[in-house]
Structure formats: structure tokens, C-alpha cells
């Protein structure tokens, strides 16, 4: 029993150790924020600041004050969507922080007059997204492990690749990315992935997915007949550094741990840059390159994201001094926890094609929306 949950115990201990460093670094981060605020021109016009205004996000005078109840409810959705499809938790967290709470437009007002504050708010949004995804990934990983719908060896190698990538991205982009750049690339990457998933649903894209399709049919039949899914869940048949073989509902799947490590590196590099977990990239990788069915992908993606997010948050906050707005993050974490408990329990009743359809619709819409707004200033509802 202990061995089964060892990865989660290790991550918990790492998070506990990192939290001590995070709080020690809080004073330094606050000084940086105060310096950025002091350099803003006084006034009430765009790009200026009234120092006597009511404090809002990050304690900044005149900044938006997010509604905590809306934050809690939105976070339930964030936790549910991530734990259901193994993706879009960070992106939906970003939608909330950027658009619903108005932090994106607020950061843009200081693009010219106070670029330091613009970048501080941008980094805070990125890390806030990661806190929500990290908790959802932890809860989801445990739930999917119990259901035997998680390939732990694959998730761990993807996560190891992510460790190197997050370290690289944090030290090359923290404090250097303007909000418009962040928003534009956020949308562009999501849109490209959505297009790739549409291709995968075509007859040509489905030709190489025979094993996954067979496993999906067997899984859905087991659910329909109300039988125990754990009996035919993920089993490791052969493991070595060159090739690993698993079975799921009577079908065999193979992957290379080495290529999983490489894939995890590049996926996490992109994900850390835009401040999300990377599930929206892990899912296409696991379905298209590895060839796994969606019913296994969500849990495996969650474990990979958990490892990457743990170290990304640490690097951003402990080593680069990025701060988050704890009143909002606190209630959002409660919502994410609730949504992440519900997701794995409801996902098994949703057909495989519907899960992919949800992924594609969200990717295309959000990709268009944030690409147009970030690069061209066009606001698509």
C-alpha cells in the first residue's frame, strides 16, 4: 500500500520543505512590489496610480479586488475539467485570472508607464494558475491510481523531463515577459493543439489507434454493465529504460521512457512559459504519440503535471520572488479540491469521443480568443 502512493508522499514532503523557503522569501518579494509601485506616476489616468485608493490584488492601490465567491465557484470548474480530461485546468485558471477578475486588462494599463509592475502582475497570474493546477493534479493522481487508470512509470518520466524544463524557463523568463506577449502566446499554443486534435479525430488520424479504440470499447462496456474497472486496469507487463509495456482492458501499449523524458522536457518548457500545467500538451502527446485511450491519459497527465508544477512553483516563488494574492488563491484551492474529487468519478461515464470533443472545442475557442486579443488587441467574446 505504501509503495503505491510513494510518488505522492515524496511530492508532499517536497512541497512541505519548499513552503518554508517560500515564506522566508516573502519579505524580499514585497520589497520588489513596493519599489515597482513607487515608480508609477501619480494620478487617476490610464497608466497612473492613486496611492490613496483602496488596495486590491496583491495589495496594490486601485487594483481589482476579485470576488472570492466567484473565485471559489470558478475553481470548482477548473478542478473538474482538469481532472476529467487531464488538461485545461491551468488554461481555465488563466481565463479566470485574466478575464473574469480583470487582471489582464489591469496589467496592460502599466505596459508603458510601469513595465516592472506589468511584469510582476503577469508573473503572479502565471504562478496563481500553477497553484490551482498543482492541487488538482495531486488529487486527480491519487483518484486515478485507485481506479488503476494511471501509468505511473510514464507519468514519472514525463515529470522528470519537466523538472529540467521548468528550471530553465523560470530563470530565462521571470520578470521579462510583458502581459500582451504572454496572452498572445497563451492563445496561439492552445489553438495549434486544438487543430492537431481535430486532425486526430479524422479517419486518417484514427487509423493507428486500433488498440486504443478496442480498449475504449471494452472500458465503456464494463461501465455500462456496472462491473469493476480495477480488475482490467493498468498493469505493467515489462519495464526497462528502452521499452516499457503495459496492458489496459485487454490491449497492450508500449512506450520508450527515454522519449517520454524528452517529451516531458519540451511540453513543460512551453507550459511553464504560459503559466499552466501542460495537460493540454500532455494529452495530445499521450493519445497521438504513445497511443493511449483518454480513460488512461487523464490520470497519467495529472501525475506528470504534478511533478512539473511542484518545481515550477518553487522556482518562481522561492528563487525569483514571485508573489500571489493569497486571499484569492486560498478559496480557489478549496474549489479546486472539490472539483478534482468529482472529476475522476464522473469522467468514467463520459464517452471517449465526448471527452476529446470537449478538449477540441475549448482549445479552438480559447486559442482564437487570446491570440487575437494578445497580438492584435481584438476582443472576441
- 249-300 per-position pLDDT tens digit: 888 898 888 889 988 888 877 776 665 667 777 887 888 778 888 888 888 9
pLDDT score for 101: 92
β-strand pairing of 235-238 with 251-255: unpaired
| Tens-place pLDDT, residues 193-243 | 677 667 666 665 555 567 777 887 888 888 888 888 888 888 988 888 888
Backbone angles phi, psi at 225, to 5 degrees: -85, 0
pLDDT score for 76: 96
- Convert 36-86 into a string of H (helix), E (strand) and C (coil): HHHCCCECCCCCCECCCCCECHHHCECCCCCCHHHHHHHHHHHHHHHHHHC
- Domain-wise residue ranges, the chain: 68-376
**Mean pLDDT across 2-29:** 52
Closest CA to 154 of 49, 19, 253: 253
Rounded CA-CA distance 41/170 in Å is 29
pLDDT score for 2: 47
- pLDDT at position 1 over 90: no
- pLDDT at position 168 over 70: yes
Backbone angles phi, psi at 191, to 5 degrees: -65, -40
- Return the SS3 of 251: strand
Q: What is this structure's pTM?
A: 0.79
Please report, for residues 33, 48, 58, 65, the alpha-carbon distance to residue 327 in angstroms, rounded to integers and kept in the order given: 17, 25, 9, 10
Cell numbers 492613486 correspond to 50
Q: Take residue 270 and report the three cell numbers written for it.
A: 512551453
Helix (H) or strand (E) holding 236: strand 235-238
**Mean pLDDT across 134-146:** 90
pLDDT score for 182: 66
Mean pLDDT check: name the lowest of 70-74, 101-105, 314-318: 314-318
Rounded CA-CA distance 360/14 in Å is 34
pLDDT band at 160 (very low <50, low <70, confident <90, very high): confident
pLDDT score for 59: 86
| Tens-place pLDDT, residues 34-50 | 877 777 888 777 777 88
pLDDT score for 330: 92
Rounded CA-CA distance 55/336 in Å is 26
pLDDT score for 369: 72
- Return the SS3 of 324: coil
Q: Please report which residue ranges of the chain form alpha helices under DSSP H.
A: 6-24, 26-38, 68-85, 89-95, 103-108, 115-146, 152-173, 179-200, 203-206, 210-224, 257-274, 279-284, 294-314, 326-347, 352-376
- pLDDT at position 346 over 80: yes
- pLDDT at position 170 over 70: no
- pLDDT at position 26 over 60: no
Question: With pLDDT > 70 as the criterion, what percentage of the chain qualifies?
Answer: 79
Tell me the CA end-to-end span of the chain in Å, nearest whole number.
49
More confident residue, 159 or 175: 159
Rounded CA-CA distance 338/353 in Å is 25
| Tens-place pLDDT, residues 59-69 | 888 889 999 99
pLDDT score for 284: 77
Residue pair 313/131 in contact (Cβ under 8 Å)? The answer is yes
- Return the SS3 of 244: strand
pLDDT band at 136 (very low <50, low <70, confident <90, very high): very high
pLDDT score for 201: 64
- Return the SS3 of 245: strand
- pLDDT at position 12 over 90: no
- pLDDT at position 53 over 80: yes
Please report, for residues 57, 71, 123, the alpha-carbon distance to residue 120 in angstroms, rounded to integers and kept in the order given: 12, 21, 5
Amino acid at each position: 500500500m505504501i509503495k503505491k502512493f510513494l510518488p505522492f508522499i515524496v511530492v508532499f514532503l517536497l512541497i512541505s520543505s519548499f513552503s518554508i523557503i517560500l515564506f522566508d522569501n516573502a519579505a524580499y518579494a514585497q520589497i520588489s512590489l513596493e519599489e515597482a509601485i513607487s515608480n508609477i506616476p501619480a494620478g487617476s489616468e490610464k497608466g497612473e496610480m492613486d496611492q490613496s485608493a483602496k488596495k486590491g490584488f496583491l495589495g496594490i492601490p486601485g487594483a481589482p479586488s476579485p470576488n472570492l465567491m466567484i473565485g471559489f465557484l470558478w475553481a470548482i470548474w477548473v478542478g473538474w475539467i482538469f481532472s476529467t480530461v487531464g488538461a485545461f485546468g491551468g488554461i481555465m485558471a488563466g481565463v479566470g485570472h485574466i478575464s473574469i477578475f480583470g487582471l489582464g486588462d489591469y496589467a496592460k494599463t502599466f505596459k508603458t508607464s510601469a513595465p516592472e509592475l506589468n511584469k510582476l502582475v503577469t508573473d503572479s497570474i502565471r504562478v496563481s494558475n500553477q497553484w490551482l493546477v498543482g492541487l488538482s493534479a495531486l488529487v486527480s493522481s491519487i483518484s486515478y491510481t485507485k481506479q488503476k487508470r494511471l501509468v505511473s512509470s510514464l507519468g514519472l518520466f514525463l515529470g522528470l523531463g519537466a523538472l529540467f524544463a521548468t528550471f530553465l524557463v523560470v530563470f530565462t523568463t521571470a520578470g521579462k515577459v510583458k502581459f500582451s506577449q504572454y496572452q498572445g502566446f497563451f492563445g496561439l499554443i492552445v489553438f495549434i493543439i486544438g487543430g492537431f486534435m481535430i486532425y486526430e479525430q479524422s479517419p486518417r488520424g484514427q487509423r493507428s489507434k486500433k488498440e486504443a479504440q478496442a480498449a475504449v470499447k471494452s472500458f465503456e462496456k464494463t461501465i455500462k454493465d456496472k462491473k469493476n474497472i480495477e480488475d482490467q486496469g493498468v498493469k505493467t507487463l515489462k519495464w526497462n529504460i528502452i521499452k516499457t509495456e503495459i496492458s489496459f482492458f485487454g490491449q497492450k501499449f508500449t512506450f520508450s521512457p527515454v522519449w517520454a523524458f524528452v517529451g516531458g522536457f519540451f511540453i513543460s518548457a512551453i507550459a511553464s512559459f504560459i503559466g499552466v500545467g501542460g495537460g493540454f500538451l500532455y494529452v495530445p502527446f499521450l493519445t497521438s504519440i504513445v497511443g493511449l485511450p483518454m480513460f488512461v491519459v487523464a490520470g497519467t497527465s495529472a501525475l506528470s503535471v504534478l511533478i512539473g508544477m511542484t518545481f515550477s512553483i518553487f522556482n518562481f516563488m522561492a528563487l525569483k520572488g514571485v508573489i500571489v494574492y493569497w486571499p484569492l488563491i486560498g478559496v480557489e484551492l478549496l474549489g479546486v479540491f472539490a472539483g478534482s474529487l468529482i472529476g475522476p468519478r464522473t469522467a468514467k461515464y463520459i464517452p471517449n469521443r465526448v471527452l476529446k470533443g470537449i478538449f477540441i472545442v475549448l482549445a479552438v475557442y480559447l486559442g482564437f480568443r487570446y491570440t487575437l486579443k494578445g497580438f492584435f488587441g481584438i476582443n472576441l467574446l
